[in-house]
Amino acid sequence: MHLSIKQQQVLGVTAMVAIVVTALSLLHLVNLARVLLEESRARAELLSNGVYLQARDVVTSRDAAASELRSSRNVHSALEATIYSQDVVDAVIVDAANTVLASSDPAQVGKSVPSRVPLNNILAASGLAQLRAVYATEQTLEWSQPMALGDEPFGEIRIGFSTLLVRDDLNESLAPAALAAGISLLVAVAVAMLLAQLVLRPMHVIRSSLTRLGRGDLGATLDLRDDEELRDLGDVFDQVSAQLRAASPGGLKPAQLAEMSRRITRVGRLFTGVAHEMKNPLNAMTIHIELLRAKLTAASPAFPHLDVIAGEIRKLDDRIQGFLKFVRPEEVSFGPVPLAPLVANVLAAVKPEAERAGVTVHSGCADATLVVEGDAAQLRDVFLNLAQNAIQAMPKGGRLSINCAALADRRVRVRVEDTGVGIPAENLERIFELYFTTKDRGSGMGLALVFRAVQIHNGTIDVESTVGCGTAFVVVLPAGSAGPP
């Protein structure tokens, strides 16, 4: 199964955090097991010392030790008292042949008992070995203390500890550790997704700019000025794009722009005539449909088909109206257009709509020296359309900002940015297509008209978008005669 870069990054960060959390949890468990076993050893030593003191007072000789211990009430009381301590299961005094001389369970006296796993051996092992011993099949660990008369040993005291009880203590500590691990993983996934969005944003910008350059749009730029690590890449891309523009017939002067506008107007008039010729048959069909409707009754089998035909004619008429709007010739008057008052006018126009949507607006175009060459009315429509689209992309509120900056080669960049829902990657290359829309009631005309207007001005328009983070439209236009050098 192929994973996207975003999925790989999220999976990698989550796996790394899971490994770290698991390792820390295991280390915590190992340390806790060691602490619990050390506590058991300390209790065993304390209990065996108490039994030893009672036994020492009653044993007078090795030969009489067995009978003296069996008959001593104090020794039996000391042994019985040990089983009320945590984790202790039994306590016995045995002779050299492992025969029980005294026990916390009187029924064991006189019987032979086997030796069990020494607690000291477990404590000397590694942390994982201690953990395995605790979670192995239920067993009893043993603490032993030799007993002697003078220098001559005659038996030993053995205190038994159940690993099941130690295991219960460990399991109780697992619940908060598991909760902390779960919360850490959830936070890791959220942080990984956020980082993926931030890391992949430059890739979206690079891909979009390369796509435009591949389509022959020599005005494409790579806007990575805010990223210090990729800033040099953006500068190199812009230099290559500028060199390609200089080597192509695209570097048009104002007079050439005016000539190009006149040619576009002539072509627009041609298409307008074609569209009008198409509307005449449609109007005739509509009239005859209504005549047929008047002659047929609602019960006629042909009547529903008239509604279908009429609906399709209306759809075709709407398409022609949109096409007319797109190609209708406009009188374009090129001249210096200061950006600061133009952007201020656009933001003032969308401010009521923005306030209703809970969107704050910000202008970064206060520099009075930023002037572009173009038609003021068309440029206003361009930025008004982009600002309205941005507000509609923030149904739950957000921030709309329009920033301007001077670029090299006498060009000016205007960036219209929002913090809205973003545009899916599969739609980025189609948003400027005529009739393409993702809105329920959209016409698919707005961005197509924006793209046409920017092209008429010998400019470029690019889009950067990350789903869930927002979208930025970057318009680059030729600087006006009063613009930056």
Of 3.30.1280.10, 3.90.1150.10, 3.30.565.10, 3.30.43.10, the CATH number of 334-478 is 3.30.565.10
Segment among 121-135, 286-300, 315-329, 402-416 with least mean pLDDT: 315-329
Within the chain, all domains assigned CATH 3.30.565.10 are found at 334-478
DSSP assignment of 20-65 equals HHHHHHHHHHHHHHHHHHHHHHHHHHHHHHHHHHHHHHH---TTTH
CA–CA distances in Å: residue 253 to residues 406, 408, 475, 480 = 18, 16, 18, 11
Q: Looking at mean pLDDT, say which of 35-49, 114-128, 164-178, 362-376 comes out highest.
A: 362-376
Within the chain, all domains assigned CATH 1.10.287 are found at 255-327
pLDDT digits (tens, 9 = 90+) for 41-82: 888 888 888 888 888 888 877 778 778 888 888 888 888 888
Which of 89, 79, 80, 83 shows the shortest CA–CA distance to 52?
Answer: 79
The answer to whether residues 420 and 398 touch, using CB atoms and an 8 Å cutoff, is yes
% pLDDT > 90, the chain: 16
pLDDT digits (tens, 9 = 90+) for 193-220: 776 666 556 666 666 666 665 555 556 6
**Residue 14 phi, psi dihedral angles, 5° rounding:** -65, -45
Question: Letter for the amino acid at 321?
Answer: Q
pLDDT band at 485 (very low <50, low <70, confident <90, very high): very low
pLDDT band at 161 (very low <50, low <70, confident <90, very high): confident
CA–CA distances in Å: residue 344 to residues 338, 387, 405, 417 = 11, 12, 15, 15
Q: Where are the alpha helices (DSSP H) in 247-395?
A: 254-295, 303-327, 339-357, 376-392
The mean pLDDT value of the chain amounts to: 77
pLDDT digits (tens, 9 = 90+) for 83-126: 888 788 888 888 888 888 888 888 888 888 887 888 888 888 88
Gap between the Cα atoms of 102 and 157, Å rounded? 9
Fold of domain 255-327? Helix Hairpins (1.10.287)
